[in-house]
């Protein structure tokens, strides 16, 4: 008798497993609405973006990138994980987020390379340039630190886990980028989904602050010491991790609190965000 096929974590059916995303079946893998090249370079949205073109205010993040579009299938999946406590989904959702990391890394590496070539060619006349530097394979862009968006203590005790932390953990294991809980929530903001855009924005403004736990700050300082030589050339590159990006108000509030925390330590930060889904 043929061995029975594994049960898919997404659809629950027993069918041929995907090789790219362990735990799910081939047809669920094919159905994932990946965001491969975002339409909006700022927030990573897959469709035209009135939010980013509406406001010309400086944004505290370089950009957001999301793994998938928040379709009804993806909403159902996130619901199974977050609200119905199916924690077995964490590794595969984390792996999907890792895809978005790979895209961000590629984009940033290309930008870095272009900037280097431009500054080299503006500094020296062509004939004086060492042609060999063009052949050296440029280093890949790497984030220094992952910071999960914290959930309120009320939510944490209801749910038993912080989804952002679990997703970040997958990246930490795959990429070797440390995760530190540098943010805390200042108050419980209630269910965001039932609020209007402006209500959410007002609510979020001061919802986060830098973590002042001495042990966390000691870990952060240890991490900063390790990469001091790199930080003489560029800012600290931090990625905020969350499950979903809706208006961006959560990410912006987190980024502002992080800029403050890192600035107080005498460093400059460049902040990005990676979210599993973009609505």
Residues making contact with Zn ion (CB under 5 A): 8, 10-11, 25, 28, 40, 42-43, 45, 49, 52
Q: Which is nearer to Zn ion, 25 or 147 (CB)?
A: 25
User: What's the CA gap between 140 and 170, in Å, rounded?
Assistant: 20
Q: Which is nearer to Zn ion, 100 or 262 (CB)?
A: 100
Crossing angle for the helix pair 249-264 and 197-204, nearest 10 degrees?
20
Q: Report, in Å, the least distance between residue 51 CB and Zn ion.
A: 5
Q: Tokens 């979020």 appear where?
A: 204
Q: Report, in Å, the least distance between residue 43 CB and Zn ion.
A: 3
H-helix or E-strand containing 183?
Answer: strand 183-185
User: What's the CA gap between 274 and 199, in Å, rounded?
Assistant: 24
CB distance 196 to 185 below 8 Å:
no
Q: Which is nearer to Zn ion, 25 or 146 (CB)?
A: 25
Q: Which is nearer to Zn ion, 49 or 180 (CB)?
A: 49
Q: What angle do CA 162, 246, 192 make, to 5 degrees?
A: 65
Q: Report, in Å, the least distance between residue 50 CB and Zn ion.
A: 8
Q: Report, in Å, the least distance between residue 218 CB and Zn ion.
A: 37
Q: Which is nearer to Zn ion, 49 or 231 (CB)?
A: 49
Token pair, residue 173, equals 């294991």
Q: Report, in Å, the least distance between residue 42 CB and Zn ion.
A: 5
The DSSP line for 55-100 is: --SPPSSS-EEEEEE--HHHHHHHHHHHTS--GGGHHHHHHHHHHH
């Amino acid at each position: 008798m043929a061995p029975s096929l594994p049960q898919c974590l997404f659809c629950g059916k027993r069918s041929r497993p995907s090789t790219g995303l362990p735990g799910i079946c081939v047809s669920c893998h094919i159905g994932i609405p990946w965001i491969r090249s975002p339409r909006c370079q700022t927030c990573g949205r897959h469709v035209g973006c009135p939010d980013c073109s509406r406001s010309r205010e400086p944004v505290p993040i370089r950009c957001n990138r999301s793994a998938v579009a928040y379709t009804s299938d993806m909403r159902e999946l996130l619901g199974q994980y977050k609200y119905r406590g199916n924690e077995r989904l964490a590794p595969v959702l984390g792996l999907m987020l890792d895809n978005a990391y790979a895209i961000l890394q590629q984009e940033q590496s290309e930008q870095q390379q272009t900037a280097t070539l431009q500054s080299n060619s503006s500094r020296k006349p062509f004939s004086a340039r060492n042609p060999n530097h063009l052949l050296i394979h440029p280093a890949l862009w790497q984030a220094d630190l992952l910071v999960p968006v914290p959930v309120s203590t009320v939510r944490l005790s209801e749910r038993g886990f912080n989804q952002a932390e679990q997703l970040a953990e997958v990246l930490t294991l795959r990429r070797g980028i440390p995760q530190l809980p540098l943010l805390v929530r200042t108050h419980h903001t209630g269910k965001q989904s039932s609020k209007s855009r402006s209500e959410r924005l007002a609510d979020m403004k001061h919802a986060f602050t830098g973590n002042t736990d001495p042990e966390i700050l000691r870990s952060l300082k240890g991490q900063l010491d390790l990469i001091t030589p790199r930080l003489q050339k560029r800012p600290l590159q931090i990625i905020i991790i969350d499950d979903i990006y809706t208006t961006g108000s959560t990410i912006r509030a987190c980024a502002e609190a992080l800029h403050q925390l890192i600035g107080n330590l005498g460093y400059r930060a460049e902040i990005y965000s990676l979210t599993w889904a973009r609505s």
